[in-house]
Amino acid sequence: MNRHLEAFLEMLVAERGAARNTLAAYQADLADFAAFSRARGTEPEAADGALLGGYLQRLSDLGLAARTAARRLSALRQYYRFLAREGIRPDDPTELLAGPRPTASLPKALAESEVTALIDGAATLPGLRGQQAVAALELLYCSGLRASELVALPLAALRADEQLVTVRGKGAKERLVPISQRARDAALAARATLVDKPRAKPVPPRWLFPARAASGHMTRQGLGLLLKDAALAAGLEPERVSPHVLRHSFASHLLGRGADLRSLQLLLGHADIATTQIYTKVLEERLRALVEAHHPLAQNRPEAGA
């Protein structure tokens, strides 16, 4: 790794609180371009717009998904802005580049009845695992938390006598998220079991979902396996259930029942409402159904008095 890339990654940690997975993704994307650039006799820090454009064309020729190509261009834009800001080069060669536009796909949400069945299935799992599964599902579905946000919830995140939870999201930004009484009760039950559990050393756990991992709390992979067990117990296909699917289900069901995008943006912790607009298709379907059901000239409506 060259010193400029190393300094860029250090900036992402210091200024933006970038997570390890985010750093790994940036490093991999920039390393791919560096290999392309050096194969054409140019160090990546000296690349011009033509070379960058050629790289994007190569990604297209290789059949890379538009979303992946857009992510790589985003990494390049941020890297060259950093180089220009630090005076390492006089310009930003990505300014005039037009990247591919990923096609927003409709989130694959579970039906409301399937979420209910999933929680009921989780309750049949034995012991503490069942309690944790119910608490995880209730919190994910009622709040739209990311997997990384849920597993890193400390015991103190549940506020006393309030249906709120303090969440540390992307970029180490904190936000207060409202939760249902059901979710609060499920989380408190799991917490009480953990605190009262007999131990050789009387040290209460720090995390709401503790584990023997190096972090001290459940990993995202561990959470995924917990949800798969709940899905099997509920008779659902495990491949259809994940923390991300529950986050999408939360958002889709809220919009379907009348919530607005701005409120949803705050609940999901999106920095830019453009990220939340992937759910506009859900709104479009709801509005279309509303018109078809209630507009006096909508097709297939029975005539008055018929």
Residues tagged active-site: 146, 170, 244, 247, 270, 279
Which backbone phi and psi does 93 adopt, to 5 degrees?
A: -75, -5
Query: What is the distance between the alpha carbons of residues 216 and 220, in angstroms, rounded to a whole number?
Result: 12
Comparing C-alpha atoms, which of 194, 203, 246, 249 is closest to residue 223? 246
Find where tokens 């140019």 sit.
42
Token pair of 235 as six digits: 């008779």
Q: How far apart are CA 251 and CA 253, in angstroms?
A: 6
Q: What is the 3-state secondary structure (H, E, C) of the chain?
A: CCHHHHHHHHHHHHHHCCCHHHHHHHHHHHHHHHHHHHCCCCCHHHCCHHHHHHHHHHHHHCCCCHHHHHHHHHHHHHHHHHHHHCCCCCCCCCCCCCCCCCCCCCCCCCCHHHHHHHHHHHCCCCHHHHHHHHHHHHHHHHHCCCHHHHHCCEHHHECCCCCEEEEECHHHCEEEEECCHHHHHHHHHHHHHHHHCCCCCCCCCCECCECCCCCCECCHHHHHHHHHHHHHHHCCCHHHCCHHHHHHHHHHHHHHCCCCHHHHHHHHCCCCHHHHHHHHHHHHHHHHHHHHHHCCCCCCCCCCCC
